[in-house]
Chain A
């Protein structure tokens, strides 16, 4: 290698052949260069090298002929097998070529004497440095021209570091020296950016645009910061908002950190060119290019934060109007975004912000307590009912009852015992606020959560079973926390909590409070399910009920009830049930008789009255009223028929009235048919069917208390609707019922008329018997005052009454059958068909029409 170097030195510096010292010096120098680090950068690949050589050739010789020739030569060279480092050789040639060949010319200029050979200037030969000089010198750019022009005018462009400092201020929302925020004059008090007119400096337009961009971040920062500060100072800010503020604050701290870093970068940049010397500035610029901070760099640094600030500002804007869950909802609205950056940011934010929400949710879901001091949860408590316990007497309850039904006129001590209804408590103590429900929970789950907490709360306070709830709560605490990122787990825990709570509530109702027993009792007594009891009651009570209402006394009624219970199968019912059964009189007005005002009552207390609320009890009473009437008519007809059928054969021997009696029997049979169908319909078609539905539901034990209430209500409504034959047409609901009641009155009147006739016949036959006796010479006639009522003169009147009522009855029933045929309810329509089985009423009508 040294040989080669020697020959190289000899060939390039011929004088070295003579001067051995020079030769040695040169060789040493060459070795030094070779062992230095020049050009150890990287092996360029041959294509790239060829490209740069071609470019170089084009520069020196624009015609392109030499490039073509080079391509030829290169391909030939590559074909050669000899050299192993072709590209290195090419690189060598290229480097040599790209250095100026001005060296010989330089010798003619003594001013540019080469540096002493002992101190080589490696810098001069580095390819980096050689590049710019090799390029042809171009004209000045327009920007440079402008800059020079401004400089001549005495208003040079502002040095970047000055404006940079101002921009950093702007980023913190502070006005700088050259650029300031100012409140604009329009109504919204928006900030706008003002560039101070400084006679010494001029801020060029591109720079202004850049600063405007950067200042947006500062402006947003101001808004967010103001929001956080404002909330900090205020009392009564919701917990969700507090945590939002906290998150914003941490974000802002991040932001401060960035600003601090940027600021330190800026101070690292030189301050030397305060004087504004152009050449110094130019040198600085080259150095700044590598290290310092420029406006454009700042823009890149801030870019990320611009987005973040925008998001935060949007949240802040939304937070002004929204509150609690609605706020979470609002933020959640931004989480569904295609941009992963926004999504990530929002998710983070949501995770933080929803923490208090989930804390409240946990408490609600597992212990049924609503801890929500700022009413942010989607469950709201009714302040009036919040502290209401079951056993407290409440005026509200009384007022409601009095206005609702108006029963309980006689006894004051009864009504005062009423308390706030369980149903009212259950339904109104907590309210579901849909607008506060976070969207990620979903409404069905929201409802479940609502119901779960409500159930727990109810079990705890209304059913006095707080031990169980407490145990449950402790158990649930081990199950981990709820949080936003684990929605699936959340849904699972909601589901289980819901199931457990509902199950428990069901158990409490059916096992502890024996709801089923009460429902059965209601069915047996109020709906006259126990036939023997009803008959017994009717029998013992009947005579006293025919008297005017004001002659009835409650103690008599209760005593009768007691004896009816004892003498019927009902005595086997649990005493707890019988204890609740009571006989009462409704509020009566003048002229009413016992039948109109008598009622049975079944007393329920907490917490059963959640299901059997006062309205439900009203419906039961209504049903009882109707069924009792039906029962009465049935009883009346039965006894009447017995009398007629029995008596006619034995002692009513008035032959001329035989035909009338026959007619009466016909009508009565029709009546009995009618009432039997009605009774069968009520009990078999309506009450038992509805009961079956209800008991199916109860056996399944699905759903929560709401479902139970709902089902019971449906059961009751169905019965009311069908038993009372209510039609859905508005304003005419009770048309049919009134007709049926009319029919009942007719039957009663008819019965009265037949009784009169019966009595007449009795008197008449007695008179005839006496006549016959007298003919035989036995005097048996006892003249009494009452017998005079049934004289021969009154007979036509009685007969006409009988006929009139009979015809009226038939007419009414015909009307009812007709109306039932077009009744929207299928069961009612079937009742019509049963009443007019074999088209009895239809043919009758046709006969009438023909006649």
Chain B
């Protein structure tokens, strides 16, 4: 691994850290991996607002699934 590659990785990490900080500040509730995935998606051209909608949707699914699980499990 060349030094340039290493530089790039550290820079990416730093960026991710910064974004994560902002995310924390904004209280989005995303963990670091999810954030990284989302940023990757955005970088690949996904509309950010649509992505936000997706995240929300998935969260809601999760909650519903959990609730359903809880009631089923009871």
Contacts and interface: CB of A to CB of B under 8 A. Distances in A.
B23 to A, nearest CB: 5
A69 B66 CA distance: 35
Interface-central residue, A38, A56, A95, A122, by most chain B CB under 10 Å:
A95
Contact of B37 (A8, A66, A77, A114): A8
Contact of A80 (B18, B28, B59): B18
Given A5-B41, A30-B58, A117 B48 contact: no
A107 B53 CA distance: 19
Given A1-B41, A34-B46, A97-B28, A120 B34 contact: no
Interface string A61-84: 000001001100110110011111
Contacts of B60: 103, 114, 117
A92 B59 contact: no
Nearest to B51: A92
Contacts of A93: 19, 22-23, 26, 28
A83 B34 contact: no
Interface size class for chain A?
35 or more
A82 B11 contact: yes
Contact of B56 (A5, A83, A104, A125): A125
Contact of B61 (A41, A101, A117): A117
Interface in B35-73: 37-44, 46-67, 69
B48 A73 contact: no
Contact of B52 (A1, A26, A85, A92): A92
B47 A38 contact: yes
A107 B63 CA distance: 7
Contacts of B55: 8, 12, 96
A104 B31 CA distance: 16
B41 A96 contact: no
Contact of B22 (A77, A85, A117): A77
Chain B contact residues: helix, strand, loop or mixed = helix
B25 A66 contact: yes
A307 interface: no
A521 interface: no
A63 to B, nearest CB: 13
Nearest to A13: B62
A57 interface: yes
B27 interface: yes
A387 B6 CA distance: 116
A107 B66 CA distance: 9
B49 A13 contact: no
Nearest to A66: B25
A33 B8 CA distance: 33
A11 B52 contact: no
A89 B64 contact: no
Contacts of A84: 43
22 contacts: A7-B37, A12-B55, A13-B61, A15-B66, A22-B65, A30-B57, A33-B57, A34-B51, A39-B47, A39-B49, A39-B53, A40-B47, A80-B14, A89-B39, A92-B49, A93-B22, A96-B26, A101-B27, A106-B63, A107-B63, A107-B66, A127-B49
Interface of A: 1, 4-5, 7-9, 11-15, 22, 26, 29-30, 33-34, 36, 38-41, 53, 56-57, 60, 66, 69-70, 73-74, 76-77, 80-85, 88-97, 99, 101, 103-104, 106-107, 114, 117, 120, 122, 125, 127
